[in-house]
Structure 1
Amino acid sequence: MIHMIAAVDQAGGIGRNNHLLCHLSADLKHFKKLTMGHAIIMGRKTFESLPGILPGRRHIILTHQEGYCEGREGISVYHSIDSLYSCLDEDQEYFVIGGASLYTAFIDKADTLYLTEIAATFPADTFFPMVDKTQWYAMSCEAHEADEKNPHDFTFYHYVRKVSEACDSEISENLKDI
Structure 2
Amino acid sequence: MSETPVAIVVAVAKNGIIGREGSLPWRVRADLRRFRSTTMGKPIVMGRKTFQSLPGALDGRANIVVTRERGFSAEGVEVAHDFEDAIALAQTAAARLGADEICVIGGASLFGEALPLARRIYFTEIDAEPAGDVAFPAFDRAAWRENAREALPADGGDTAGAVFTILERA
1:72-115, Cα deviation, whole Å (9 max, x unpaired): 4x421111123223444286421111011100111111110001
Q: Partner letter of residue 15 of structure 1?
A: G
Q: Distance in 1 between matches of 2:166 and 2:54?
A: 24
TM-score, normalized by length of structure 1?
Answer: 0.84
Task: Give the letter for the 1:143 counterpart.
Answer: A
Q: Secondary structure at the match of 2:68?
A: coil
User: Is 1:141 the equivalent of 2:149?
Assistant: yes
CA distance in 2, matches of 1:25, 1:32: 11
1:54 aligns with 2:55: no
Larger Cα Rg: Structure 1 or Structure 2? 1
113-122 or 85-94, larger mean C-alpha shift: 85-94
Q: How many residues align?
A: 160
**Partner Cα distance (1:81, 1:66) in 2:** 14
Gaps of 5+ in 1: 163-178
Q: SS at 1:33's partner residue?
A: helix
SS of the counterpart of 2:41?
coil
Q: Distance in 1 between matches of 2:55 and 2:86?
A: 24
Identity of aligned residues (%): 37
Tell me the residue number matched to 1:11.
15
Q: RMSD value over aligned CA atoms?
A: 1.6
**Superimposed CA distance per residue, residues 56-82 of structure 1 (whole angstroms, 9 cap, x where no aligned partner):** 011001001112117x4x421111123
Equivalent-residue separation in structure 1 for 2:162 and 2:113 (angstroms): 26
Unaligned 5+ segments in structure 2 are none
1:38 maps to 2:46: no
Shift, 1:152, TM fit: 1.5
- Secondary structure of the residue that 2:145 maps to in structure 1? strand
List, as ranges, runs of 4+ consecutive aligned residues in structure 1 with deviation greater than 6 Å. Answer: none
1:67 corresponds to 2:71: yes
Q: How much has 1:144 moved relative to structure 2?
A: 2.5
- Measure, in 1, the Cα distance between the counterparts of 2:9 and 2:145: 16
Tell me the residue number matched to 2:169.
161
1:130 matched to 2:138: yes
Normalised TM-score (structure 2): 0.88
